[in-house]
Amino acid sequence: MKTHLVAVTLALVSFSTGASAQSGGHVRVSVERAFGFAYNSITSSSVTTTGTVTVTRESSSTVTSLNLFGAGFSSVAPESGLVFGGQVPRFAIDYELSSHLTFGAAAFVSWNSISTAGGSELSGFGFGLAPRVGYTLGLTDRLSFWPRAGVTLAYMSASPDSSPGTVSVTSKVTYVPVWVNVEPMLVYTVDPHFSFTLGLVLDLPLLGAVTSTTRTTVGSVSTERTTDSSVTQLIVAAQIGVMGRF
């Protein structure tokens, strides 16, 4: 009789432990895109209006970068067009279910101000939100595969101003991009509450609208130029981040 009671007790404990392990309800808090390499392919089609004259231009460029916690913020400059603004570090929160599905969102905010010896100034501001869904697949005791997919909605602005001699140039540039994000990530678990993430980032452009307004003043005469651009910005990156699990 005692043997049967012990067996039943062990079975109940085992079932309880197994249910707890699969109960889900864990929260993942991450700092993402903190360090890594990024490649940007940018295509721009613009329409510029100066007075009664309208000019249409098309251009393409590529940008590669090695970022460390978003050192610097590049958005838009009137002399070079769109540089890039997608590789700012992101803070993310995901909820992990017992079915290994994850639901969450990442967000970023960036600001900078730069002055040059020639009297030019550039201030920039940006923010974005990226809701997403993922799935965790265990590979070993410490290594798991965490593919994620979502959408990034962002807004960025830049104000490059310069005053060469008696000429004053003031500008205002806004950039509204929308990307589909595909992020196949490897998660290396140091302990149950701390991990490193490493993987690829693919940002596929859905929308990229840039509006630039430049006012040039010479003496008492001012000329205003407005440029509307349609921008396609593809981002491919290899990124490292850190994650806590609670």
User: What is the DSSP-derived secondary structure letter of residue 51?
Assistant: T
- Dihedral class, residue 141 (left if φ above 0, else alpha if ψ from -120 to 50, else beta): alpha
pLDDT at 111 over 70: yes
User: What is the DSSP-derived secondary structure letter of residue 9?
Assistant: H
Q: How many CA atoms are closer than 13 Å to the CA of 190, on its beta-carbon side?
A: 9
Q: Which two tokens stand for residue 144?
A: 């798991």
Average pLDDT over residues 23-33: 87
Cβ proximity of 36 and 239 under 8 Å: yes
Q: pTM value?
A: 0.78
Q: How open is the CA angle 20-26-30, to the nearest 5 degrees?
A: 155
Cα end-to-end span (Å), the chain: 42
Computed from CA positions of residues 66, 69, 71, 75, in that sequence, does the dihedral angle turn out positive or negative? positive
Domains contained in the chain, CATH given: 24-245 (2.40.160.70)
Q: How open is the CA angle 238-152-113, to the nearest 5 degrees?
A: 80
Which amino acid belongs to residue 159? S
pLDDT band, very low/low/confident/very high, at 233 (cuts 50, 70, 90): confident
pLDDT of residue 189: 96
pLDDT of residue 14: 35
pLDDT band, very low/low/confident/very high, at 15 (cuts 50, 70, 90): very low
Smallest CA-to-CA distance from 229 within 245, 207, 205, 246 is with 207
Query: Model confidence over 191-231: pLDDT tens digits?
Result: 999 999 999 999 999 988 888 888 888 777 778 878 888 88
Smallest CA-to-CA distance from 130 within 154, 102, 146, 147 is with 154
Report for 68-82, 113-127, 143-157, 226-240: range of highest mean pLDDT: 143-157
Classify 120 as helix, strand or coil.
Answer: coil
Largest Cα separation within the chain, whole Å, is 104
